[in-house]
Amino acid sequence: PSDHFYEMMLSLFFSGLLPGLLLVGSFFVSSVAAAPGVIEGRILNGTLPEQNAAVKEITLYRIKENQSPEKLDSQEPQEGRYRFQGLETDPQYRYRLTATYQGIPYFSDEILFGQGQAQVALRTSDLKVYEVTEDPQTIRVSRDHLILEINDREIVATEFLLLENSSNRTVWKKNLLRFSLPEGYRDFRGPGEPIRNAGGQGGEGFWLGEPVLPGNNNQILFTYRLDFSGTQQDLFKSIDYSTAQLDLMVADKGLEIQSPNLSFQGKVDMNGQGFLRWSASNLKPGASIRLSLSKSAMTRYLYPGGVVAIVLLLAGAGFAYTRVKARNTKRASLSSPSPPLEGR
């Protein structure tokens, strides 16, 4: 037979066989990708490791991209262990575990499965819970960022605190941790209940409505507004807990700014807007920070080194100003399914 005949036969062979091979291969790949996932682990008592935590139920949630969490399943741990099976391992899905212990909800880190695994995907995720204490002596503020945006007749304050709990117990009691707010504030939004004219407690503020877990990852964000005369005004900030570092950023709107308690650090740029940065370290409870604002033709302070990148300024605290306003009205993704905290 001629070469043309062999070429024709090979063409017919591959035209029929190759699509079949591709079909089998695609079925195999899809079967591998669809292998069911398993999440298992233990509930650990972070305060008393030798004792079991009496958790009656643990719940698994699934999160797809930016959608609301979807409750998948709940079960009663058996001797402190749990196992969820038959889970989708598609990388677009993320999973989190939650359980309540002594009235406090606890959450795991996000759990992800790999892509295209050849066998059942197994992920181990232990959930740690803690005993509760009403003693606030172990609470301090490791970082406090106060940002003031000034309009013609209004000051908009956004404050971000990183709380540290140096004990191995969760600190919680209703109306236990109090944070002060400036006199005359309004439109408070944050994780707490505003209080006014608290006798003997030195002014206005709010009670924190969230537990403070052991460690240095307790983030609090709140906002409020103040009237501004447009010419001259004094602001006072009370220090309620030992504060390792305070950063104050004031929008650079041509105001003259003075503070006997803070050191001027220069000008920074955040989200395309200029701010003047002031700071103080190792502040004691009961201290008061004074800030005087007065109208001026131009800003009094100029930073010789130019504009400092805000990422370098706040990265150490895990704080990004571009996320602040988005967090003003919504909590972490799993806050809503959690039961409300009850007073002790």
What local confidence, expressed as pLDDT, does residue 47 receive? 98
Q: Which residues of 109-140 are buried (b: 16+ CB within 10 A; e: fewer)?
A: eebebeeeeeeebebebebbbbbbbeebeebb
Structure tokens at 124: 């181990």
* DSSP code at position 38: E
What local confidence, expressed as pLDDT, does residue 153 receive? 85
- Residue ranges of the chain with pLDDT lower than 70? 1-34, 115-120, 196-203, 296-344
What local confidence, expressed as pLDDT, does residue 34 receive? 58
Q: Are the C-beta atoms of residues 61 and 70 closer than 8 Å to each other?
A: yes
Q: Are the C-beta atoms of residues 91 and 112 closer than 8 Å to each other?
A: yes
Report the candidate in 210, 58, 69 with the shortest Cα–Cα distance to residue 126. 58
DSSP-based three-state secondary structure for 32: helix
Is the pTM higher than 0.85?
A: no
Q: Are the C-beta atoms of residues 293 and 230 closer than 8 Å to each other?
A: no
